[in-house]
Amino acid sequence: MERKAVSESRESARHAPVAAEAPAERDQLVDSLIAALEVRGVPQGTWLVDISRARQALQEADGLLRRLEDAIIRDASSPTRPG
């Protein structure tokens, strides 16, 4: 039952809105990030590719952590082996 609650909580967080901030605040944050990248001389196309790669890496890490979590739960719920 606890596993189901964790899973449901994870799913609701995944589909929740990213932030409840005002559009003006988001625009200001985006402008600040773009300005900082331009000051550092990072070409626009480069950081867009980097964002995509980072997102993919985070998704792969999330998948790995989910499998690890499932394995730990399976191991914890299996009968203990005689030693």
Q: What is the pLDDT of residues 21-64, one digit of tens each?
A: 688 999 999 899 888 988 998 887 888 888 899 999 999 999 99
Q: Is residue 28 part of a domain?
A: no
Residue 66 has pLDDT above 70, yes or no: yes
Q: What is the pLDDT at residue 81?
A: 59
Q: Is residue 72 part of a domain?
A: yes
Give the domain range for residue 48. 43-77
User: Cα dihedral angle (26, 31, 37, 40), rounded to 10 degrees?
Assistant: -140
Q: Is residue 48 part of a domain?
A: yes
Greatest distance between any 2 Cα atoms in the chain: 63
Q: Which SS3 state, helix, strand or coil, does residue 35 take?
A: helix
- Which amino acid, one-letter code, is at 34? I
Q: Is residue 73 part of a domain?
A: yes
Residue 8 has pLDDT above 60, yes or no: no
In this structure, are residues 19 and 26 in contact, taking their beta carbons and an 8 Å threshold? yes
Closest C-alpha to 3, from 61, 73, 66: 73
Q: Is residue 27 part of a domain?
A: no
Task: Quote the number of domains for the chain.
Answer: 1
Q: Which two tokens stand for residue 36?
A: 């900082």
